[in-house]
């Protein structure tokens, strides 16, 4: 996945129509790397999402690498956004990121259903919990 969250913000600045923005988010999800079905376990599931979402993680050279998957196209795109925002960062960097600010810049909360918004913040919460656990290991 070569896009960054800054690329998404820039693209959103040029796309006025929300239907086109949704298509772009769905395309981001299509570009996620393949996800191992064996990792689709209850332990890796993000609870609080209407759709099923899974996140796995590894710590490599002090940076947390996340991979994710969903069974819904738009949510898969939202997973891609979260990976852009949080993956390949140190636990301390992850914990310092204010996801709500980025999502506000994208205007997502105003254009997602309350259930999707809750699911998005459930992903953020799980990611931050993982980062906090890694921070304890590194410290």
Q: Which residues does the annotation mark as catalytic?
A: 49
Which of 31-64 are b and which e, b meaning 16 or more Cβ less than 10 Å from the residue's Cβ? ebeebeeeeeeeebebeebebebbbbbebeeeeb
């Amino acid at each position: 996945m070569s896009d960054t969250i800054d690329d998404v913000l820039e693209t959103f600045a040029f796309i006025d129509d929300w239907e086109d923005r949704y298509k772009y988010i769905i395309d981001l999800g299509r570009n996620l790397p393949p996800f191992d079905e064996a990792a689709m376990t209850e332990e890796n599931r993000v609870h609080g999402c209407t759709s099923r979402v899974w996140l796995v993680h590894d710590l490599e050279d002090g940076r947390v690498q996340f991979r994710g998957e969903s069974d819904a196209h738009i949510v898969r795109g939202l997973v891609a956004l979260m990976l852009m925002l949080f993956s390949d960062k140190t636990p301390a960097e992850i914990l310092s990121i204010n996801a709500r600010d980025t999502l506000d810049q994208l205007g997502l909360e105003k254009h997602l259903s309350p259930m999707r918004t809750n699911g998005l913040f459930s992903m953020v919460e799980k990611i931050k919990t993982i980062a906090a656990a890694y921070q304890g290991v590194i410290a």
